[in-house]
Copies of this chain bind each other. A is one copy, B any other.
């Protein structure tokens, strides 16, 4: 199967990290493509009408997206410890942790688009400020909430690790480690894993 990705995308990184942690990375061919939210790559559009990465093209012609669906599929092929518990509140805690990680990425990417994609005169500080506020509140919740089970490896913590990695990559001035020892240690621990090392956007 082929995973369409770009090294800078935190959502694509989430899929790549999950493939490694699920022990199935050798079954996934990575296809690095250039694409933009304003002008999607034509090859990518054949697999995903929304023109978003990551998108997964299966051998049988099916396509899977977005990152949540791809991560769940990778974990279904996982013959080791599952990254997404099958049921119960354990499952929902992992899913909510993923929602928070994804929400941080959404806000950070929206903020990035505001500055990197828009004509200068059309950029609006009010929008960026609102995204940063979301990020800060989400980080504070993760720092406090034991249900997130950091730094254990599951689909939720993978999303959080990729979100924190993206903040380091694009928003280093945010200084997210300040007064957040649990998240700081969590990313330190995660960063030693092969899955995170091979997908580090700063080394692409």
Chain A residues with a Cβ under 8 A of chain B: 37-39, 45, 49-52, 62-66, 68-69, 72-73, 76, 87, 89, 92-93, 95-96, 99-100, 103, 107, 118-119, 121-124, 126-127, 130, 134, 137-138, 140-141, 147
Contact = CB atoms under 8 A, between A and B. Distances in A.
30 contacts: A37-B130, A38-B126, A38-B127, A45-B137, A49-B100, A49-B140, A50-B99, A50-B100, A50-B103, A50-B134, A50-B138, A51-B134, A52-B103, A62-B93, A64-B92, A64-B95, A66-B99, A68-B68, A69-B92, A69-B96, A69-B99, A72-B95, A73-B92, A76-B87, A118-B124, A118-B127, A119-B124, A119-B126, A121-B121, A122-B124
A192 to B, nearest CB: 28
A131 B22 CA distance: 34
A110 B87 CA distance: 33
A96 B127 CA distance: 30
Contacts of A95: 64, 69, 72
Nearest to A98: B69
A144 to B, nearest CB: 10
Given A69-B99, A119-B126, 8 more contacts: A38-B126, A38-B130, A69-B92, A69-B95, A73-B92, A76-B87, A118-B127, A122-B122
